[in-house]
Chain A
Amino acid sequence: MTALSERIETPPAPARAPARRPARRRRSPVFDAVTPLGLTARYLTLLVILAVTVGPMLWELSTSLKSVFEDVYTATPQLLPQRPTLDNYSQVARTVPIAHFALNSVIVAALCVGGNLLGATAAGYALARLHFRGRRLMLGLFLSTLVLPGEVTIISQYQTVTRLGLGNSLVGVALPAMIGALNVLLMRNAFLAIPAEVEEAAVIDGATVWQRLRHIALPSVKGTLSVIAILTFIGAWDDFLWPLLVLQSPDKLTLTVGLSYLQSVFAADPRIIAAGAMIALLPILALFVALQRFFFRGVGEGAVKG
């Protein structure tokens, strides 16, 4: 994800520089002037960061395309496969029912994203704009759950889910992640960033809470919503330990758990594991590309309210 954000931020950098030129006299001339040397340095730095962040992904991609006659681990890694092949991908498809596992993952991720968008919006709006008894206490409770590391609660969480009768079900996998405390706080901050006067005007016009939320607040927080959607999706898609604990029957496994069958004590072909990793990565890339315009607006939104 960081890899992509670097890549996408790259183009605007040179374009922005000339636009700012009129304001230069107020700033340090060294910092703002675009000398050829400075430009080269900027691009070099960006290239280095690009290599560091995208490099491992490319290596994984190249490994997944390498044929069985080629060494995977070498002191001088070869990025281009000598004899590229798609055999590893078909081997993955033969070993595990990839489409079925992917569908399970999509169901879990959709439940988590839906739950967070609805729940975090409702809770965040209530904490930001509604006045009720115990509001501060509620906020404190949300904050305090952030302090608990997941490892401490995972077993008791597991017991809760099995007692609810949701063991070995996809709903059981999604349930604990369907409202994230952090997401509630993000939404609260996003709603707080909208000037209170706007809503007060709406109150005078006779708008109800639902109308204010729907017509005034929500349109201004699309960015944060997309940030939450993407982060929740990635979290649900990548999670390994929790679905491993909850799910028992092989036909219900999510993609990350299912793909781990590619690696065994007696046979671990790094090419096939890399092919599995690439398959698992595709949906995240697709979602990110689809939402990236909103995503960067969302990152900015949170920052304005300093």
Chain B
Amino acid sequence: MPRTRAGFTLAVIAAASLTGCGVGGAGTGSSQQTVASDAPLKGAITFQTWSLKNDKFTPYFTALIKDFETQHPGTTVNWVDQPGDGYADKVSSQVTSDSLPDVINLPQDIAHSVAKVGGLLDLSKNVPTLAQDYVHSGVAAYTYPDLGGDGFAFPWYLGTDVSFWNKAMLQRDGLDPAKLPKTFDELVAQAKVMHDASGGKDYLMSRPPGLSDIVNSGTPLMTPDGKKFDFSSAPAAAMLDKYTAAYAAGYLPSNVLTSTYEGNSALFTKQEVAWTTGGGNYIQSTTQSNPTLAPQIVPSPALDTPPLYVQGISVAAKSKNLPLALAFGRFVTDDANQKAFIKLAPGFLPGSAASANDPAYSKSDGTAQGDASVIAYQDMQKAVIFTPPVWTDAMNTFLNQQVALAMTGKESAKQALDNAVSRANQLLGQ
């Protein structure tokens, strides 16, 4: 619900500022300007992070900023942190009131809406080595073909999904934790074993299909020119049919299609479901909420292609001190600082090219959390971003409704996908 609203306000702003600004993009504050690289660094800037001010990360940022200020005497960096909730709304209010901080931590979708109104500096114009210095998937995430810019952020930290299994539940129902499913078909087969052995009480699967499953069936979401959705294919329909059959056989909890569905990770922590996907740090965070469950968790690579989550550091196009902002943005995302950051965030990977290939990330310390971090590192190599920036919550809600209709047998898989495509295209045109 809050996300829907955020998307909506951003859209309103985008519309308002587009009509308001017209063709005035040429002067100062343009996203395509180049910044003199030899300008002396002095003055003050503001640096905004998202939900990183706490016992764990505050010392890191204080030290980071102090480091920078010592290296460049006469500069000041003011650090602000925004709470996790309502970030899209907060950023949009900063955009409208021209108070966007000089250096900002933005995820890929929020960055897109800010870049759309010309709020972010196109880094490829100012950092010639952007493509070599940072991991390819990270740079690609902030390249928006519809806006004609290549790289609106320095890739910072990257995350992906890993599969997590409840060892005790698997063993109770006669499944071998050493032979975990690797494909969707194996998953369904083991879900059947678990269902039959527990008399329908335990579940392995607890996630209705979504956009990622459509992509994993080999179907591109959009037409090659990126202008329209086109994902109603035979393989996607076949995938949906498999889910429908599994649902009808009782391998998924019946409430996954209703609003009472709590999500697979909530059901996993309640130990009603033996499989979930989660970020590389899932075991660590479960240790906090459910200490007795954490030792039971076995990680394994994600089924099919894993999703990629990116956080980036952007520079505001309207910053009053662009040379300093640009320098600080590069400083935060350089090798050494990214490595130090990831030490605090196990299961995530740095976005700088040199540190991403560090062999240290492919060695586990022997704990389950260490294994999960290594699996996350391996998953990351082939992870892709499933959700295009133009995909909205309204489209997602409609897709979920159609999927629910198909899985309860009220319409065919083909029909459901066709409806979702036409509705998404209709929303896209608005």
**Chain A residues at the B interface, C-beta cutoff of 8 Å:** 68-75, 95, 151-152, 154-155, 158-159, 162, 167, 240-241, 244-245, 248, 250, 257, 260-261, 263-270
**Chain B residues at the A interface, C-beta cutoff of 8 Å:** 2, 5, 8-9, 12-13, 50-57, 80-86, 89-90, 92-93, 96-97, 99, 266, 269-272, 281, 285, 288-293, 344-345
List 20 A–B pairs whose Cβ atoms lie within 8 Å, in order of A's numbering.
A72-B269, A73-B289, A155-B13, A158-B97, A240-B85, A244-B86, A245-B89, A245-B93, A248-B80, A260-B84, A263-B83, A263-B85, A264-B53, A264-B54, A264-B84, A266-B52, A267-B288, A268-B285, A269-B288, A270-B288
Residues B266 and A73 in contact, CB atoms below 8 Å apart = yes
8 A-B pairs with the lowest CB-CB distances in the bound complex, closest first: A260-B83, A73-B269, A71-B290, A245-B93, A264-B51, A72-B289, A75-B270, A269-B288
Q: Provided the pairs A245-B89, A267-B54 are in contact, do residues A151 and B9 lie with their beta carbons within 8 angstroms?
A: yes
Shortest Cβ distance from A65 into chain B, in angstroms?
A: 15
Which A residue's beta carbon lies closest to that of B2? A241
Residues A155 and B52 in contact, CB atoms below 8 Å apart = no
Residues B5 and A71 in contact, CB atoms below 8 Å apart = no
Residues B54 and A241 in contact, CB atoms below 8 Å apart = no
Residues A75 and B84 in contact, CB atoms below 8 Å apart = no
What A residues does B293 contact at CB under 8 A?
71
Shortest Cβ distance from A214 into chain B, in angstroms?
A: 42
Shortest Cβ distance from A54 into chain B, in angstroms?
A: 20
What A residues does B12 contact at CB under 8 A?
152, 155
Residues B9 and A155 in contact, CB atoms below 8 Å apart = yes
What B residues does A263 contact at CB under 8 A?
51, 83-85
Which B residue's beta carbon lies closest to that of A161? B97
What A residues does B53 contact at CB under 8 A?
261, 264
Q: Provided the pairs A244-B89, A260-B83 are in contact, do residues A158 and B54 lie with their beta carbons within 8 angstroms?
A: no
- A268–B92 Cα distance when bound, in Å, is 25
Residues A240 and B54 in contact, CB atoms below 8 Å apart = no
Shortest Cβ distance from A33 into chain B, in angstroms?
A: 39
Q: Provided the pairs A71-B290, A167-B97, A240-B85 are in contact, do residues A267 and B285 lie with their beta carbons within 8 angstroms?
A: yes
Q: Provided the pairs A71-B289, A74-B270, A151-B9 are in contact, do residues A244 and B57 lie with their beta carbons within 8 angstroms?
A: no
- A73–B268 Cα distance when bound, in Å, is 9
Which A residue's beta carbon lies closest to that of B51? A264
Residues B93 and A155 in contact, CB atoms below 8 Å apart = yes
Residues A257 and B288 in contact, CB atoms below 8 Å apart = no
Shortest Cβ distance from A270 into chain B, in angstroms?
A: 5
Q: Provided the pairs A151-B5, A155-B92, A268-B285 are in contact, do residues A162 and B80 lie with their beta carbons within 8 angstroms?
A: no
Residues A241 and B86 in contact, CB atoms below 8 Å apart = yes
What A residues does B291 contact at CB under 8 A?
68-71
Which A residue's beta carbon lies closest to that of B268? A73
Which B residue's beta carbon lies closest to that of A152? B12
Shortest Cβ distance from A68 into chain B, in angstroms?
A: 7
Q: Provided the pairs A74-B271, A240-B85 are in contact, do residues A267 and B56 lie with their beta carbons within 8 angstroms?
A: yes
What A residues does B344 contact at CB under 8 A?
266
Shortest Cβ distance from B101 into chain A, in angstroms?
A: 10
- A240–B82 Cα distance when bound, in Å, is 13
- A71–B295 Cα distance when bound, in Å, is 12
Residues B80 and A261 in contact, CB atoms below 8 Å apart = no
What B residues does A70 contact at CB under 8 A?
291
Residues A250 and B80 in contact, CB atoms below 8 Å apart = yes
Cross-interface CB contact of B272 among A75, A167, A250, A268, cutoff 8 Å: A75
Assuming A68-B288, A270-B289, what are 7 further A-B pairs, CB within 8 angstroms? A241-B89, A245-B93, A250-B80, A260-B83, A264-B53, A267-B54, A268-B288
- A159–B9 Cα distance when bound, in Å, is 13
What A residues does B92 contact at CB under 8 A?
155
- A75–B272 Cα distance when bound, in Å, is 7
- A270–B269 Cα distance when bound, in Å, is 13
- A266–B53 Cα distance when bound, in Å, is 10
Q: Provided the pairs A73-B269, A155-B13 are in contact, do residues A261 and B290 lie with their beta carbons within 8 angstroms?
A: no
- A74–B270 Cα distance when bound, in Å, is 4
Shortest Cβ distance from B56 into chain A, in angstroms?
A: 6
What A residues does B272 contact at CB under 8 A?
75
- A60–B53 Cα distance when bound, in Å, is 24
What B residues does A152 contact at CB under 8 A?
12
- A264–B99 Cα distance when bound, in Å, is 24
Q: Provided the pairs A73-B270, A269-B288 are in contact, do residues A158 and B84 lie with their beta carbons within 8 angstroms?
A: no
- A268–B290 Cα distance when bound, in Å, is 12
Residues B96 and A260 in contact, CB atoms below 8 Å apart = no
Residues A72 and B80 in contact, CB atoms below 8 Å apart = no
What B residues does A267 contact at CB under 8 A?
54-56, 285, 288
| Candidate in A73, A257, A269, A270 with the most chain B CB atoms within 10 angstroms | A73
Which B residue's beta carbon lies closest to that of A91? B55
What A residues does B281 contact at CB under 8 A?
266
What A residues does B288 contact at CB under 8 A?
68, 267-270
- A245–B5 Cα distance when bound, in Å, is 14
Q: Provided the pairs A73-B290, A74-B270, A260-B85 are in contact, do residues A158 and B93 lie with their beta carbons within 8 angstroms?
A: yes
Residues A155 and B96 in contact, CB atoms below 8 Å apart = yes
| Candidate in B2, B51, B56, B99 with the most chain A CB atoms within 10 angstroms | B51
What A residues does B80 contact at CB under 8 A?
248, 250
Shortest Cβ distance from B190 into chain A, in angstroms?
A: 21
What B residues does A241 contact at CB under 8 A?
2, 86, 89
Cross-interface CB contact of B84 among A95, A245, A265, cutoff 8 Å: A265
What B residues does A71 contact at CB under 8 A?
289-293
| Candidate in B52, B84, B86, B97 with the most chain A CB atoms within 10 angstroms | B97
What A residues does B56 contact at CB under 8 A?
266-267
Residues B57 and A95 in contact, CB atoms below 8 Å apart = no
Cross-interface CB contact of B9 among A154, A250, A261, A269, cutoff 8 Å: A154
Q: Provided the pairs A74-B270, A267-B56 are in contact, do residues A245 and B90 lie with their beta carbons within 8 angstroms?
A: yes
- A215–B287 Cα distance when bound, in Å, is 63
What A residues does B85 contact at CB under 8 A?
240, 244, 260, 263
What A residues does B83 contact at CB under 8 A?
244, 257, 260-261, 263
Which B residue's beta carbon lies closest to that of A265? B51
